[in-house]
Structure 1
Amino acid sequence: MTEPLIELKGISKAFGNNKVLDNIDLTIYRGEALGIIGPSGTGKSTILRVIAGLTAPDSGEIYIQGVRRKGLIEDSADPIGISMVFQQAALFDSLSVEENVGFLLYQHSKLSRKRIRDIVHEKLEMVGLGGSADKYPSELSGGMRKRASFARAIISNPESPNEAPEVLLYDEPTAGLDPIASTVIEDLIRQLQCTQGVCSTYAIVTHQDSTIRRTADKLVFLYEGRVQWEGHVSDMDTTSNPLIRQFLSGSIAGPIHVVG
């Protein structure tokens, strides 16, 4: 069987008395589009941060392309690049779109400013933001800010190809967007997956039904810090699992405890 690109074994994480991940096992294979779903507060975003190397688990092991990670991403480089798209886009308001997208290269490469600008413009074209380089985040719509964050996530230094992101992690990429803007983002996620030289593997956290169905192939359902169900997207319409049935229907009656 093909070796997992990313493998979590027995991952647990608590914040104070709140245990958000409880002995989680998770695998992601090359070329896979994994959807991570479940009620709010069940550790979905925490899993992404653990995979990205931004949050350390309390226990368990993380393997990236078969190599066990020790510490956080700042402690040692992974054998493959992993990039994350944050829920709120996380753009610097005081920087232009070009400066936001090219931030990593401006800060950590020896490329000329012109070369960086060329790379930034190429990535902006890929996400449908050609001509927006000199704008500021305040001048962009919510969907455009999300696309700018995509461009930043996929940018890499051509002189260090081993650092190019091979895996993208999306945290609620369509949150707060209207249905049309959401469709644009969902299409872009799939387009980037199919674009040569861009991340072909990704994991996406979402609550939105259209985003689940249009961007994911495989699903894992988290509840109470554990993987309670997993299967293909098409399986969620036929499963008898009461957690999935309640989640999809939005019913307040069922095994999922309604907070408040």
Structure 2
Amino acid sequence: MVETAVAPLLELRGVQKSFGENKVLNGVDLSVHSGEAIAVIGPSGTGKSTILRLICGLIAPDAGQLYINGNRVSTEEIQEDSHGVSIGMVFQNAALFDSLTVAENVGFSLFEHSRLSRREIYQQVEQKLTMVGLENISDRYPSELSGGMRKRVSFARAIMDDPTVKSVTKKILLYDEPTAGLDPVASTIIEDLMRSLRQQDVCDSYIVVTHQDSTIRRTADRLIVLYRGLVRYAGKVSTIDQADNPYVKQFFSGSIEGPIQLLTKEV
């Protein structure tokens, strides 16, 4: 019997993106299979966050294609949680609305787009906050929270789905520097939470953009090194210390000698 290949949950093929004269992505290929945790690394300004914004439909590629469950999709279709996959984004700075309470931030999408009552939405909010270890803070404002707590609130918002919509079967979470600016203890809490959400089947797969060695090693199965708009390395995190790749060696040693040179524009 011939086995048929399972299509990736998410796939980028030959994706290109420029901002003015600055070509950020120059033909990126990337696939995410069910159950995978992928770390995307590289120097600042090399397009890591741009990839996340493309995947979640905030911007459109100039060229190339995006596929979900083997189906080519447009930017609009990504935003509509098409083809049985929902995509949630955790932004680097948490991106909470300062004028809204924690409950209003976490339940924002339901308040705006669902037919649930306020009572039902608040029940969903409390459930998600409990999942990220933040009970009884619904009435607080972001300014009353620590940096680590704000990150976890943004996690709760990213995993919020309308329970009345039954078509979505898989969820991919995108983490943009989730441990940036946190102390080592808070970073460990966030790293444990990322793994816990996947173990609880809150999400099926995730991509994390990070510079932190501990976040790479503790949260990811596979590593992608991006530099000057191209994937320069793809391999298992468990083998990076033995990898004979100049980009991997330079990144993890912190050496100024090697193919990676300083980029001045963050994208």
Counterpart in the other structure of 2:34:
30
Give SS of 1:27's match. Answer: strand
- Equivalents in 2 of 1:4, 1:119: separation in Å? 30
CA shift in 2, pair 1:139/1:170, >3 Å: same
- Give 1:6-155 correspondences, 5 Å limit: 6-73=10-77, 77-79=81-83, 80-155=85-160
| Residue 228, structure 1, aligned to residue 227, structure 2 | no
How far is 1:195 from its partner?
Answer: 0.6
Distance 1:212 1:259 in 2: 21
What SS class does the counterpart of residue 167 from structure 2 fall into? helix
Deviation of 1:6 after TM superposition, in Å, equals: 0.6
In the TM superposition, structure 1's runs of 4+ consecutive aligned residues that sit over 4 Å from their partners are 73-77
SS at match of 1:162: coil
Deviations 1:133-159 (CA, angstroms, capped at 9, x unpaired) = 111000000000000000000011111
| Amino acid in structure 1 at the alignment position of 2:199 | C
Q: Secondary structure of the residue that 1:72 maps to in structure 2? A: helix
RMSD: 1.4
Q: CA deviation at 1:258?
A: 2.5
Number of the residue aligned with 1:189:
194
Does structure 2 conserve the Cα–Cα contact (< 8 Å) formed by 1:55 and 1:72?
no
Q: Distance in 1 between matches of 2:193 and 2:132?
A: 7
Deviation per CA, 1:60-118: give whole Å up to 9, x if none: 01111111112434775522111111101000000000000001111111111111111
Deviation digits for residues 189-238 of structure 1 (CA, Å, limit 9, x no counterpart): 00000113x11211110000000000100011000100000100022101
The one-letter code sitting in structure 2 at the alignment partner of 1:206 is T
Secondary structure of 2:116 counterpart: coil
Asked if 2 retains the 8 angstrom alpha-carbon contact of 1:154 and 1:165, the reply is no
TM-score, length basis structure 1: 0.96
Instruction: Check the 8 A contact 2:18/2:62 in 1, yes or no.
Output: yes
Aligned length: 259
Structure 2, gaps ≥5 residues long:
none
- 2:75 and 2:174 mapped to 1: Cα distance? 19
Aligned-partner SS, 1:161: coil
Q: Deviations over 1:164-201 (max 9, x none)?
A: 761101110001101100000000000000113x1121
Counterpart-to-counterpart distance in 2, 1:259 and 1:91: 29
What fraction of aligned residue pairs are identical, expressed as a percent?
Answer: 58
Report how far residue 161 of structure 1 moved.
2.5
User: Residue type matched to 2:240 in 1?
Assistant: M
The answer to whether the Cα contact below 8 Å between 2:107 and 2:157 also exists between their aligned partners in 1 is yes
List alignment gaps of at least 5 residues for structure 1.
none
